[in-house]
């Protein structure tokens, strides 16, 4: 799977995801840091990447309708420390792989994974 990590996620996830066979890069590596959510979503979709983020605004289906992106995975986590976020995402990947697809919004919490779209 091709993944773009938003700037609010630990960059070390690139290595974790690559070790699992995924092609991941970051918003920062493309010089997109600080840009609007709209620009980040468009840039991710333009390169065929699913966007992983902690940003609730990106998960707003009114602002980012399902037909306009390659997929968004929104992590709504109680624990926000880099180590905890990294561990939760790595743990969730096996369950996420089948759920992710073009136009889908996936919301991941510590307790559940929900799919919209």
Q: How far is CA 76 from CA 23, 31, 85, 110, 114, in A?
A: 23, 25, 10, 8, 11
Residue 110 burial (CB count, 10 A): 13
What is the per-residue pLDDT for 11? 93
DSSP string, 21-86: T-EEEETGGGT-TT--HHHHHHHHHHTT-EEEES-GGGG-TTTS-GGGSS-EEEE--S--SHHHHH
For residue 98, the model assigns a pLDDT of 84
The 8-class DSSP code of residue 102 comes to T
Q: Residue 3: its pLDDT value, please?
A: 96
- pLDDT score at 89: 94
- Predicted pLDDT of residue 116: 79
* pLDDT tens-digit profile, the chain (117 residues): 999 999 999 999 999 999 999 999 999 998 889 999 999 999 998 999 999 999 998 888 888 887 788 999 999 999 889 999 999 999 999 888 888 889 899 999 999 999 876
Q: What is the pLDDT, as a whole number, of residue 117?
A: 66
Q: pTM for the full model?
A: 0.93
Domain ranges of the chain: 2-116
Buried b (16+ CB within 10 A) or exposed e, 87-107: ebbeebbeebeeebeebbbbb
Q: Tell me the CATH architecture of domain 2-116.
A: 3-Layer(aba) Sandwich (3.40)
Contact by Cβ (8 Å): 73, 44: no
């Amino acid at each position: 799977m091709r993944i773009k990590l938003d700037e609010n996620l630990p960059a070390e996830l690139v290595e974790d995801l690559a070790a699992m066979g995924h092609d991941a890069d970051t918003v920062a590596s493309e010089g997109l840091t600080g840009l609007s959510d709209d620009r980040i979503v468009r840039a991710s979709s333009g390169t065929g990447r699913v966007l992983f983020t902690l940003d609730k605004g990106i998960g707003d289906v009114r602002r980012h309708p399902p037909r306009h992106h390659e997929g968004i995975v929104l992590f709504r986590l109680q624990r926000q420390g880099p180590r905890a976020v990294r561990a939760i995402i790595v743990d969730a990947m096996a369950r996420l792989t089948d759920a992710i697809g073009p136009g889908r919004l996936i919301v991941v919490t510590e307790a559940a994974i929900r799919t919209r779209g």
